């Protein structure tokens, strides 16, 4: 799904990142926004694509440290706590977003675009090409255990069968490209 890692990461880390691009950290899971609500059948719904602005991307970059500080304390799969949601709303508004849901929508759209960037070339190639490249990396990895390799390949092949939708707003690619290094670091650190 969203592969936006530095080349130095292990193949397993790359797999974990690629398979989780639409779920960019605990804050996205907490939001339970309409765009990410499960569709009937348990599959995540499509991300509502929006045209990103430079101000929104900068807002995500400036908000992430505070967002991480709030969500880092939460147990995995925690139910939304009104107090925590109030804190997240405040951070989103402080960084130029109308609401925490808007922040998440922007984060989802950034992740969607980042998922199509080749981390080696820092060029947009599409999520399918990135996943195929990751499959080749995992297959060639001699240090990875057989069990990890089998799981990683299964995860990647599953991701390949349900590729990300095409990017509707082509300007988002240029904007994410402009901030690629900062966003890749932010999203990569969020996933570790």
At residue 117, the pLDDT reads: 93
Instruction: Please give the radius of gyration of the chain, using alpha carbons only, rounded to the nearest integer.
Output: 16
Pick from 95, 100, 99, 115: nearest CA to 162: 115
Pick from 106, 152, 147, 110: nearest CA to 131: 152
pTM over 0.85: no
Pick from 63, 71, 67, 172: nearest CA to 115: 172
- H or E segment and range at residue 71: helix 54-71
CB-neighbour burial class of residue 39 (10 A; exposed 0-12, middle 13-18, buried 19+): exposed
Q: What is the mean pLDDT of each run of 10 residues along the chain (192 residues)?
A: 30 36 36 39 69 96 94 84 93 96 95 92 92 92 92 91 86 95 78 37
At residue 30, the pLDDT reads: 38
List phi, psi (to 5°) of 88: -65, -40
CB-based contact 139:71 (threshold 8 Å): no
Three-class SS string for 12-42?
A: HHHHHHHHCCCCCCHHHHHHCCHHHCECCCC
Report which DSSP code applies to 164.
Answer: P
CB-based contact 31:92 (threshold 8 Å): no
At residue 45, the pLDDT reads: 59
């Amino acid at each position: 799904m969203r592969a936006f890692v530095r080349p130095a990461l292990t193949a397993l880390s790359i797999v974990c990142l690629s398979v989780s691009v639409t779920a960019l950290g605990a804050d996205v899971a907490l939001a339970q926004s309409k765009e990410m609500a499960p569709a009937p059948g348990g599959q995540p719904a499509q991300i509502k694509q929006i045209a990103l602005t430079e101000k929104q991307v900068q807002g995500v970059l400036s908000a992430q440290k505070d967002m991480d500080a709030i969500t880092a304390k939460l147990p995995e799969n925690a139910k939304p706590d009104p107090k925590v949601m109030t804190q997240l709303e405040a951070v989103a508004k402080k960084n130029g977003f109308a609401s925490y849901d808007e922040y998440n929508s922007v984060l989802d759209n950034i992740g969607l675009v980042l998922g199509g960037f080749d981390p080696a070339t820092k060029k947009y190639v599409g999520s399918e090409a990135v996943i195929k490249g990751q499959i080749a990396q995992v297959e060639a990895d001699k240090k990875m255990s057989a069990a990890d390799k089998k799981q990683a390949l299964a995860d990647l092949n599953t991701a390949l069968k349900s590729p990300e939708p095409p990017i509707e707003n082509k300007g988002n690619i240029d904007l994410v490209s402009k901030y690629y290094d900062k966003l890749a670091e932010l999203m990569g650190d969020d996933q570790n």
